[in-house]
Each structure stands twice: as C-alpha cells, then as structure tokens.
Amino acid sequence: MKNSRFNSIKILAIILIIFILITLYFQFFSPQKLMIRSYGKKLINNLNKENITSIIITDKSDSFVLEKKEEIWFLKVKDKYFPSKTEKMKNYIETLEKLTQGIIVDKGEKAGNESKYGFDIERSLKVEVKTSNKSDFYLIVGSAGTSSGTSYIKFRDEKKIREVKSSIAADTSNSVSGWANKRVFNEEIKREDVEKIEVESYNFKWYKGKYTIAAVQNKEENKDKETSQTQKYEIIPAPKGEIKDYQKQNIVETILFLNAYDFKVEGELGNREKLGQIKLYLKNNSTFTMSFYNKDPNDIADYIISVDFNNYLYLVLEDTLKNFIKSPDDLVSK
C-alpha cells in the first residue's frame, strides 16, 4: 500500500514536470514564439542615430547623398549642397535606428521571386548608411509589405527577404525633391515679425510696377474689454477701392512661406536681366532680398530665384509668382 502511494506520487510528479516543460516550450521555445521574438529584435545592435553621418540612396541609374555637417543635414547633388527637410531627416534616421530583424518571408533561393517583393531593378533602392563608430551597413529596400505599416528589405548581401514592421519602403524616395527643403525664407520668420515688404516688377509680362505692403498697429477691444494688438497692413501707394485685410495678410504669408519648385543644380546667373525683386524688412531691422530672372532652356520651372542670404538658386513656377507679384488694383473688391 505504501509503495502504491509512492508510485502514484511519483507518476503525478512526472506528469507535472512534463506539463511544466510543455508550458515552457509553448511559452518560450515554440517556433511561433521564437519568430515573434526575432521579429522585434533590433537589426543593427550598435546603431545609434547620433552616430549616423551620411546616407547614400541609389536607384537603377543615379544616386545622391544626405550628409550631416555640424549637426545639420544637407542634400548633396553633383558636389553642390542644398538644405534638407529637417523633420523628414529626423524621422528617417529614427526609422533606421529602430529597424528590427522582422520575419523571413523568402529565402531567396527561387529565381524570379524577387519582383514579388519589389526587388526588381525598376523599384528597389539601395540605402547605404555611414557612421562615425564603424557601424556602416546597407539595405536594399523593396516594396511595402502586405500588412499595414510593414516593408520588405534585404540586409547587406543577404539573399533572404525580410518583412519588417516599418514604413521605410514608403519613406525611402529616390526623388531629390522629396528630401530637399525648398522653402526660400527661414521657417523661424513669422508674419508678425514683418515691418514691410517691397514688391518690384521691372519686366514681368503680366505686371510692371512697384508697391509696398507695410504693417500697421491697430488697437482693438475684445469681448472681455481687454486691449489687444492686432497686426494689419496697408498697401502703398493705396489703390482706388477697398482691399480686405485677409487679402493683404495672404500676400505677406505667401511670400514668407514661399516654396520653390526645385533647386537649380547646374548653371549660373551670369549677366542676365533682373525681372523683379522682393525686399523683406523685419521689425528687428534685418533685411532680405529675393531677385527673379529668366530660366535657362533646360530648367524644369519658369523662373530663377536668387537671394542675398544664401548661395542657392531656386526654380519657381509662373503661377506661384503671380500670387504676389501683381497689381494691387487686382485685389480691390468689385
């Protein structure tokens, strides 16, 4: 009887051990659990976004460089540097830093399978990342994954294709324009900083003339009977008729927030005729001048912009200029 009880306890203990082992297997060591842990594991362990110094993006026929100089990111095209989009660069570098190993969706053993994941020559992009701590690497980026927010990538010279939880496929563009910051005036300049703007047209075909839009201070009382300062504008010389305040504000904002169509990478201004200019005066006594010229035959926009506060040449469309280089009479309420 005593032996029988002992044997029963022994059997129950063995069953319990087996149950614990099975539980541990499914909890930690099953192929599914191993895959989940691998999916979330960092792809490059020693990568730190602060150490990334440049990114080279290459498509089937060309390449360009995103390069950090004194903690500021620039776009380098044909040995010329242009400003890059600060927020886009910040987000993209964080995307690289957070890349995980993902799951292997294809071992790359079957010829012809690559186009299924966007790795054909027409669509795939090579992303080379240079760092200051010798953690250089490169990726081949394919198409977006079948699941929302995923991408297909290859790491270094691997044949296998990974699906990672990342938007890197959508965020990686081989278009220079997609990375360039084409805003002409500094983003820190606000409408309330403007003292006046002089608009001059010497030889634009749709308008020739000069006017100034100047800030005036108008004290108003709000609903709580408190005095507030509301900036308004006047146009000098004043046209005959009423111009709504919002129209004057729109002109100021259109100039301040002006985005060029593209940068002019090749060619110089030479001695070409100046068609007009905008002179911006701020309340802190700073001044900025923007000048306009005819384009070259191969330029992809209508006019060239040159400024006195950087060395870039911008390209701009005619319809964009017509938003603020216009006769004040055209703004008068009918």
Closest CA to 331 of 201, 216, 241, 237: 241
How far apart are alpha carbons 104 and 86 in whole angstroms?
33
Residues 6+ apart with CB under 8 A from 18: none
Question: Helix, strand, or coil here: 70?
Answer: coil
Residues 6+ apart with CB under 8 A from 279: 197, 198, 200, 287, 288, 289, 290
* Whole-number average pLDDT of the chain: 88
Q: Which fold has domain 49-179?
A: Immunoglobulin-like (2.60.40)
Domain-by-domain residue ranges, the chain? 49-179, 191-331
Note the pLDDT tens digit of each residue in 38-75: 567 899 888 888 999 999 999 998 899 999 999 999 99
Kindly report the pTM of this predicted structure. Answer: 0.79
Query: Using omega within 30 degrees of 0 as the cis cutoff, is the peptide bond preceding 83 cis?
Result: no
Query: What's phi and psi for 54, nearest 5 deg?
Result: -160, 155
- The CA distances from residue 210 to 53, 200, 238, 301, 330, in Å, are 46, 4, 11, 24, 14
pLDDT of residue 2: 54
Residue 24, pLDDT > 70, answer no
How far apart are alpha carbons 32 and 40 in whole angstroms?
13
How far apart are alpha carbons 60 and 126 in whole angstroms?
9
Note the pLDDT tens digit of each residue in 186-203: 989 999 999 999 999 999
The secondary element (H helix, E strand) that includes residue 8 is helix 2-24
Residue 226, pLDDT > 50, answer no
